[in-house]
């Protein structure tokens, strides 16, 4: 019987340990994607983007005489049924690190382990999340020592790309992707976001090649919001359209050639591994304040102010521009993520989990580990967090990182981008024009209020 390759966030043919192992088994390979309840429950943008990833990957498989079998239902049941129908002898998968995925993988291994061999592979990150340990064998809580350990350990080179999959003699039945309607929950125009998305393995590889040729612009691009000089590869990493090790080795080769920016790029990439490392060791990272005592912080619940933040109507131009970018493109510059998250959690004193949920709803690069770590980092309650009292002043940030107003103008004046945003928002939003919004709170007043809340928590 065939080897089932159960795909999730590993929609690629290159550097794919599970795929390589399935091929090495000598059996025909049966690629399967299951729309299980966990996947059904994805928020709007991630689910829509996953649908696009599946569409492109299925076409790629078909181009080489293979297929992507699509089935709906709880994973263990569906896979058992396929194994039964095809006489499959092996199951291969790439493990994921968030709590719901871990439970699901364990259920599947248990349910299928009796009838075939289940092989769980690494491959979503540079290293398995538990591989890098402190001297005492524990988890790192601070980034720099984690980075030093990772750097010292090095990263294995990516595995070769497969262009040849032996197809089984008979294919089991498959659903039609269009029947799954993965974009259903996008109450804004998926067509708008689609204009900005770069979907699929080939597009991701091209994006990486282009990025590496101007890597010397990265140090400025990482901070400056006006240019678009970062890799943009996070959406591809999220769905495994490119492997993290492929990025690492492209960056490392540039470093060895003396390219400015290469070291910073490698460091950022390692933040993604750090996030997965922490999520593995602290499964509740997306739900609970990581630092003790923070449950006492007077985080505010959802409110009209938080809604104004979501809609880009705070009256703080850099925040509003960024929230428009997020809603329109499904992504946001890293500096802007930090500014908007700080504004929500500090100036508006809003619970970071409310911001985390909106990012999850809107980001096409949504990653359970990176989103949780970064929100807790900005909010001040997370591992290696920026201290709460270091409150970003959005106006000063804008002057420093958008000195020519290119970013703000792009999203707040009459441009193609701003028009795309306006065409995407639900009618019920009835937006005020940017110039006419009164700021939700004065910057000094918001800052003082946040510091008082912190002092109150410390005393309480
Ligand atoms: P580049 O600058 O080109 O970096 C290369 C890669 O390094 C990225 O693709 C990403 O995989 C990784 N990386 C860079 N910065 C970080 C970081 N701070 N943390 C973890 N990995 C990083 N990133 C996500 O992929 N998904 C998320 O859901 C997410 N949520 C975030 C929420 C907040 C509040 C903040 C402040 C940051 C969040 N990030 C998230 C991290 C970061 O903003 C994005 O990874 C980055 O902006 C993606 O753009 P890029 O691919 O051009 O990055």
238: which residues sit within 8 A by CB, 6+ positions away? 9, 46, 49, 364, 365, 366, 367
Position 238 scores a pLDDT of 98
Position 38 scores a pLDDT of 95
pTM tops 0.90, yes or no: yes
**Residues present in the chain in total:** 460
Residue 232 assigned to a binding site: yes
Position 182 scores a pLDDT of 96
Structural element, H or E, at residue 445: helix 443-459
Position 1 scores a pLDDT of 96
Ordered structural domains, the chain, with CATH: 3-124 (3.40.50.620), 126-157+191-281 (1.25.40.80), 294-455 (1.10.579.10)
Residue owning the nearest CA to atom 12 of ligand 1: 269
- Phi and psi at residue 193, in whole multiples of 5°? -60, -40
Residue owning the nearest CA to atom 9 of ligand 1: 234
| Residue in 358, 366, 279 with CA at minimum distance from that of residue 50 | 366
Question: Ligand 1 pocket by C-beta < 6 Å: which residues?
Answer: 222, 230-234, 237-238, 268-269, 271-272, 275, 334, 337-338, 341, 359, 363, 365-367, 370-371, 374-375, 378
- Reported ipTM: 0.99
370 alpha carbon to ligand 1 midpoint, in Å?
7
- For 199-313, list the strands marked E by DSSP: none
Position 385 scores a pLDDT of 74
3-state secondary structure of 327: helix
Q: Name the β-bridge partners of 4.
A: 30, 91
Residue 297 assigned to a binding site: no
- By most ligand atoms within 8 Å of CB, the mutation choice from 49, 215, 234 for ligand 1 is 234
448: which residues sit within 8 A by CB, 6+ positions away? none
Residue 265 assigned to a binding site: yes
Tens-level pLDDT at each residue, the chain (460 residues): 999 999 999 999 999 999 999 999 999 999 999 999 999 999 999 999 999 999 999 999 999 999 999 999 999 999 999 999 999 999 999 999 999 999 999 999 999 999 999 999 999 999 999 999 999 989 999 999 999 999 999 999 999 999 999 999 999 999 999 999 999 998 777 888 899 999 999 999 999 999 999 999 999 999 999 988 999 999 999 999 999 999 999 999 999 999 999 999 999 999 999 999 999 999 999 999 999 889 999 999 999 999 999 999 999 999 999 999 999 999 999 999 999 999 999 999 999 999 999 999 999 999 999 999 999 999 999 987 778 888 999 999 999 999 999 999 999 999 999 999 999 999 899 999 999 999 999 999 999 999 999 999 988 7
Question: What tokens does 278 get?
Answer: 């922490």
- Provide the 10 A C-beta neighbour count for residue 135: 7
- Phi and psi at residue 131, in whole multiples of 5°? -70, -35
Q: Relative to the CA of 341, which ligand 1 atom is closest?
A: 34
272 alpha carbon to ligand 1 midpoint, in Å?
7
Q: Relative to the CA of 371, which ligand 1 atom is closest?
A: 30
The number of C-alpha atoms within 13 Å of 157 and in the hemisphere containing its C-beta is 4
Distance CA 313, CA 433 (A): 9
Residue owning the nearest CA to atom 23 of ligand 1: 370
């Amino acid at each position: 019987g065939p080897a089932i390759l159960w795909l999730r966030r590993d929609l690629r043919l290159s550097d794919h340990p599970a795929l390589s192992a399935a091929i090495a088994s000598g059996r025909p390979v049966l690629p399967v994607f299951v729309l299980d309840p966990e996947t059904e429950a994805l928020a709007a943008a991630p689910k829509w983007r996953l649908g696009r990833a599946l569409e492109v990957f299925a076409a790629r498989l078909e181009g080489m005489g293979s297929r992507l079998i699509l089935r709906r239902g709880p994973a263990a049941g569906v896979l058992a049924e396929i194994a039964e129908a095809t006489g499959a002898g092996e199951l291969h998968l790439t493990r994921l690190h968030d709590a719901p995925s871990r439970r699901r993988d364990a259920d599947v291994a248990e349910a299928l382990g009796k009838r075939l061999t289940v092989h769980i592979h690494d491959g979503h990150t540079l290293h398995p999340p538990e591989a890098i340990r402190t001297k005492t064998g524990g988890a790192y809580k601070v980034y720099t020592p984690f980075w030093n350990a990772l750097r010292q350990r090095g990263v294995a080179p990516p595995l070769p790309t497969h262009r040849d999959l032996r197809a089984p003699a008979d294919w089991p039945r498959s659903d039609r992707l269009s029947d799954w309607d993965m974009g259903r929950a996008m109450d804004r125009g998926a067509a708008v976001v689609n204009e900005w998305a770069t979907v699929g393995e080939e597009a991701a590889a091209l994006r990486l090649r282009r990025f590496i040729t101007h890597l010397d612009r990265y140090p400025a691009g990482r901070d400056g919001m006006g240019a678009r000089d970062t890799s943009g590869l996070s959406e591809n990493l999220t769905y495994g359209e490119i492997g993290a090790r492929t990025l690492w080795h492209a960056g490392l080769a540039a470093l060895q050639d003396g390219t400015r920016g290469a070291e910073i790029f490698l460091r950022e990439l390692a933040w993604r591994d750090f996030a997965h490392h922490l999520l593995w060791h602290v499964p509740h990272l997306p739900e609970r304040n990581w630092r003790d005592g923070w449950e006492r912080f007077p985080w505010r619940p959802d409110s009209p102010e938080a809604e104004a933040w979501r809609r880009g109507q705070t009256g703080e131009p850099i925040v509003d521009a960024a929230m428009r970018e997020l809603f329109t493109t499904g992504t946001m510059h890293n500096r802007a993520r930090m500014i908007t998250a700080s504004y929500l959690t500090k100036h508006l004193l809003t619970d970071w989990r409310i911001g985390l949920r909106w990012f999850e709803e809107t980001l096409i690069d949504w990653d359970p580990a990176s989103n949780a770590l970064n929100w807790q980092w900005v909010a001040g309650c997370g591992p290696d967090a920026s201290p709460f009292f270091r409150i970003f002043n959005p106006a000063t940030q804008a002057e420093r990182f958008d000195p020519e107003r290119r970013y703000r103008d792009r999203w707040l004046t009459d441009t193609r981008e701003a028009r795309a945003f306006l065409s995407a928002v639900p009618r019920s939003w009835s937006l005020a024009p940017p110039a006419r919004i009164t700021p939700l709170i004065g910057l000094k007043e918001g800052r003082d209020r946040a510091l008082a809340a912190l002092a109150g928590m410390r005393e309480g």
